[in-house]
């Protein structure tokens, strides 16, 4: 099998804790697109302090992962230079009812939007892409913390059933969850595929999915009464424990990569991840890995016309027409993409990987989704 498609978790190696690498001072970059900053340049912030929130109260609050000084604020980013060892006061948790619990989690930095009351809850522990296997460490070492998270979700959501989706051959368990072994081949670890494998249905309304890292973050938030500041990020063969917002340039350097012109650095994996345009970009709370695609060996994506070969249609696991969606998106006809079920695309990237003309098919699809949601495109962090 092409190694790009194997989701078999690697054997566990040592964890590299960024905070123990003798760095004099870390600069973190936090994404805040659509958020309201709660600090200004020059402010001192504590580790785990809330620094931005969603004015509409839907997105998880953003917390600083270091104690330090705010060095820059743009519409989309906050930069903080580490200094001192101040830690924020514990969070107040409202555990009296389901609404209060979920709102407390959201305020603690957890994305609660995928969660649904009374639905089947699936914990997805399958690597999203080849090599993004940090779940293994969490589920084997921190099962107790994950169970704390699960107990909270059981109280808040009253799920009608709980399932653990794991790669075939692994002996992972989570008390209270029925295990479902899934063939570890891409794109089987993406949520839409996991839901189909566990329930036998496509996009059923009464199912919700979170990944194992999110369940860990829920348990850790409750356990420590503070927003989780450190996450597991896989870069090449190195698994890092690193603060949210750590710049990708530091991680790829510490993992032993030298970056040359036209190499691509991608948050998560090369098939479904998103390339960054600057090494100052920080990892987000849900980032599972950073990938480097060297310029030379990989075919360059080109802005070439669709030749209508149909390869992307044959390969699409959502059974939609990426060729037609990309053709309309390419010329700004975003509304037309709705006629081709763009919402059913779960962004696996296989259409782009197999495209005969090497078109940026997934990128066109993401552009159309962004335009249809009227969300702004990110500003340039380098300015
Ligand atoms: S990214 Fe492409 S192949 Fe994957 S689901 Fe979307 S349209 Fe289909
Ligand atoms: S694979 Fe590429 S060239 Fe072929 S139909 Fe799809 S978008 Fe067009």
Q: Is the CB of 346 under 6 A from ligand 1?
A: yes
The total number of structural domains in the chain stands at 2
Q: Whose CA is nearest to atom 6 of ligand 1?
A: 345
Helix axes 361-373, 322-330, angle to 10 degrees: 60
Q: What are phi and psi of 75, to 5 degrees?
A: -60, -35
- Residue 260, domain member (yes or no): no
pLDDT at 378: 53
Whole-angstrom distance, CA of residue 240 vs CA of residue 132:
11
Task: Give the end of a domain, one of 223, 243, 273.
Answer: 223
- Residue 319, domain member (yes or no): yes
- Residue 332, domain member (yes or no): yes
Mean pLDDT by 10 residues, the chain (383 residues): 90 93 93 96 98 95 98 96 96 88 95 96 97 94 96 96 97 97 98 97 95 97 96 96 98 95 94 95 97 82 93 98 97 96 96 96 95 68 54
- Residue 155, domain member (yes or no): yes
Q: Which two tokens stand for residue 235?
A: 């870069």
Task: Give the end of a domain, one of 206, 223, 240.
Answer: 223
Q: Say yes or no: 219 and 123 in one domain.
A: yes
User: What CATH number is given to the structural domain containing 168?
Assistant: 3.40.50.11540
Q: Is the CB of 368 under 6 A from ligand 1?
A: no
- Residue 355, domain member (yes or no): yes
Ligand 2: centre distance to CA 306 (Å)? 5
pLDDT at 25: 86
Contact (Cβ atoms closer than 8 angstroms) between residue 50 and residue 267: no
Q: Whose CA is nearest to atom 8 of ligand 2?
A: 306
Q: Is the CB of 189 under 6 A from ligand 1?
A: no
Q: Is 221 exposed, middle or buried (0-12, 13-18, 19+ CB in 10 A)?
A: buried
Give me the residue label for tokens 């409750």.
222
Q: What are phi and psi of 71, to 5 degrees?
A: -100, -20
Q: Say yes or no: 219 and 315 in one domain.
A: no
332 HSE (CA, 13 A, CB side): 0
Q: Is the CB of 345 under 6 A from ligand 1?
A: yes
- Residue 213, domain member (yes or no): yes
3-state helix, strand, coil in the chain (%, to 5): 30, 20, 50
- Residue 284, domain member (yes or no): no
Q: How far apart are the first and last CA of the chain?
A: 43
Q: Is 365 exposed, middle or buried (0-12, 13-18, 19+ CB in 10 A)?
A: buried
pLDDT at 3: 86
Contact (Cβ atoms closer than 8 angstroms) between residue 213 and residue 145: no
Q: Is the CB of 316 under 6 A from ligand 1?
A: yes
pLDDT at 379: 58
Ligand 2: centre distance to CA 54 (Å)? 39
Q: Is the CB of 195 under 6 A from ligand 1?
A: no
Q: Say yes or no: 119 and 219 in one domain.
A: yes
Q: Is the CB of 312 under 6 A from ligand 2?
A: yes
Q: Whose CA is nearest to atom 5 of ligand 1?
A: 345
Ligand 2 atom closest to 357 (CA): 3
pLDDT at 300: 77
Range(s) of the domain holding residue 361: 311-373
Residue 265 is given by DSSP the state E
Contact (Cβ atoms closer than 8 angstroms) between residue 117 and residue 99: no
Q: Is the CB of 308 under 6 A from ligand 2?
A: yes
- Residue 31, domain member (yes or no): no
Whole-angstrom distance, CA of residue 311 vs CA of residue 357:
10
Task: Give the end of a domain, one of 200, 223, 246.
Answer: 223
> How many residues in the chain?
383
């Amino acid at each position: 099998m092409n190694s790009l498609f194997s989701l078999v978790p690697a054997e566990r190696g040592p964890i590299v804790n960024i905070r123990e690498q003798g760095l004099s001072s870390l600069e973190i970059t936090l994404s805040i697109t659509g958020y309201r900053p709660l600090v200004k340049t020059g402010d001192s912030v504590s580790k785990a302090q809330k620094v931005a929130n969603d004015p509409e109260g839907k997105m998880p609050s953003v917390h600083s992962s270091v104690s330090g000084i705010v060095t820059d604020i743009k519409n989309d980013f906050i930069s903080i230079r580490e200094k001192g060892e101040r830690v924020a006061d514990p969070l107040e948790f409202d555990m009296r009812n389901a609404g209060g619990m979920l709102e407390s989690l959201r305020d603690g930095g957890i994305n609660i939007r995928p969660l649904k009351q009374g639905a089947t809850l699936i914990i997805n522990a399958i690597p999203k892409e080849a090599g993004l296997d940090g779940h293994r460490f969490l589920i084997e070492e921190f099962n107790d913390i994950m169970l704390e998270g699960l107990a909270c979700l059981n109280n808040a959501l009253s799920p009608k059933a709980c399932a653990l989706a794991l790669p075939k051959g692994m002996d992972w368990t989570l008390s209270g969850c029925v295990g479902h072994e899934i063939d570890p081949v891409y794109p089987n670890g993406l949520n839409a595929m996991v839901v189909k494998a566990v329930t036998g249905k496509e996009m059923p309304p009464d199912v919700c999915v979170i990944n194992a890292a999110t369940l860990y973050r829920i348990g850790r938030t409750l356990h420590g009464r503070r927003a989780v500041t450190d996450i597991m990020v896989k870069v090449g063969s190195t698994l890092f424990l690193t603060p949210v917002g750590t710049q990708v340039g530091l991680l790829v350097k510490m993992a032993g990569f030298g970056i040359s012109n036209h190499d691509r650095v991608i948050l998560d994996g090369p098939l479904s991840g998103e390339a960054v345009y600057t090494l100052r970009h920080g990892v987000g709370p849900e980032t599972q890995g950073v990938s480097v695609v060297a310029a030379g060996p990989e075919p360059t994506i080109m802005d070439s016309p669709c030749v209508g070969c149909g390869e992307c249609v044959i390969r699409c696991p959502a059974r939609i027409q990426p060729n037609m969606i990309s053709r309309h998106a390419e010329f700004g006809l975003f509304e037309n993409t709705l006629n081709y079920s763009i919402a059913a695309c779960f962004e696996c990237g296989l259409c782009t990987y197999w495209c005969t003309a090497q078109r940026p098919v997934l990128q066109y699809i993401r552009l159309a989704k962004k335009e249809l949601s009227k969300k702004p495109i990110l500003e340039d962090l380098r300015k």
